[in-house]
Structure 1
Amino acid sequence: MTDEELADMRGGFLTAGGVVFDFGAIVRTYVGGALALETRLTWTPTGPVTAQVTGDLPGWTPLVPGQVGGLNLTGVPDGANGLVLTDANGSTALIHNVMNGQLQNMVLNAANGRDIRQEMQVMLTLPNFEAMQRDYSLDRLGSQIGQDLNWGSIQGYGR
């Protein structure tokens, strides 16, 4: 089968050992206890899909690389998204980067008096994980019994 045909038959990742798993992440930043920025990453058969939600905080503008309100945002990774607030307290940039194999939740802050909290939730789903664990435990038990029998045979010859 071609790679394209295989891609249509499965979602998530396929590891070298043949274990299929799904991956997703939610990155959140709160300011003053209110959600300011949330980015969701879901891995699909066609690749990563992201969705971003901004909170209802007044005065925030979309992130634009460059110099903003005393913050140097020129090094922001390509594909990163976020918000910037510049007011009488100073400037704060909230940046989420969930592309290019990275999960980043960054705050660049030159403001006073901001209560900022960051969260990152990573989900890894292993279908049939309980069955895999049970099979592994049975394999280990069988191996241990085999080793015990071999060891018992070796000791029995020496008596």
Structure 2
Amino acid sequence: MTDAELADMRGGYLTAGGVVFDFGAIVRTYVDGALALETRLTWTPTGPITEQVTGDLPGWTTLIPGQFGGLDLTGLPAGANGLVLTDENGSTALVHNVLNGQLQNMVLNAANGRDIRQDMQVMLTLPNFEAMQRDYSLDRLGAQIGQDLDWGSIQGYGR
């Protein structure tokens, strides 16, 4: 992905230690080689923002928790979204849950003959990470030199 595409999918987040980082996730489910459901999560300073896109697959309906086409969807977590297909092959539910501190990509399947693939892409970017590593290395080197000088002065008194 290009930097411009990634910039659209992530937001900044500030930790208690003052370290700023970008976090985003894309959850995808494919059925028979075609994109069926994609959910994007972008974490912003005001909280998470999600966007969901459904593929152009015939016969799919919006997920509603409960009993559906032979599937028990009553135990789904709050905030879970997805699609359900019921046809002559059986029922399949695609569930994405990217809220409440979770990244879940679930398939509940009671159908035959479906080729289902899932993937999840998580992006974590630490701006100025190279500078942070360099500063940490210099701090460690300074601490080691200080310890060596202290040890040398202790040994020097005993001679």
The residue that corresponds to 1:32 in the other structure is 32
Give identity over the alignment, percent.
89
- Residue 98 of structure 1, CA deviation: 0.8
- In structure 2, the residue corresponding to 1:123 is in which secondary structure? strand
Measured in 1, the distance between the counterparts of 2:151 and 2:114 equals 66
**RMSD of the TM alignment (CA)?**
1.5
- Residue 26 of structure 1, CA deviation: 0.6
Measured in 1, the distance between the counterparts of 2:76 and 2:48 equals 20
Measured in 1, the distance between the counterparts of 2:153 and 2:110 equals 73
* Matching residue's letter, 1:89: N
TM-score normalised to structure 2 length = 0.86
Measured in 2, the distance between the counterparts of 1:136 and 1:67 equals 55
Q: Is the 8 A contact 2:89 2:113 kept in 1?
A: yes
- In structure 1, the residue corresponding to 2:117 is in which secondary structure? strand
The residue that corresponds to 1:97 in the other structure is 97
- Residue 144 of structure 1, CA deviation: 1.4
Instruction: Extract unaligned runs of 5+ from structure 2.
Output: 1-10
- Residue 49 of structure 1, CA deviation: 1.1
Instruction: Extract unaligned runs of 5+ from structure 1.
Output: 1-10
* Matching residue's letter, 2:57: L
- Residue 43 of structure 1, CA deviation: 1.5
* Matching residue's letter, 2:94: L
Measured in 2, the distance between the counterparts of 1:148 and 1:117 equals 56
Q: How many residues align?
A: 149
* Matching residue's letter, 1:95: V
- Residue 29 of structure 1, CA deviation: 0.7
Measured in 2, the distance between the counterparts of 1:39 and 1:33 equals 17
Measured in 1, the distance between the counterparts of 2:144 and 2:45 equals 40
The residue that corresponds to 2:49 in the other structure is 49
Q: Deviations over 1:19-78 (max 9, x none)?
A: 112211111111112111000011223321111111111211111111111100111122
The residue that corresponds to 1:65 in the other structure is 65
* Matching residue's letter, 2:51: A
What are the equivalent positions in structure 2 for 1:13-24 lying under 5 Å apart? 13-24=13-24
The residue that corresponds to 1:4 in the other structure is none
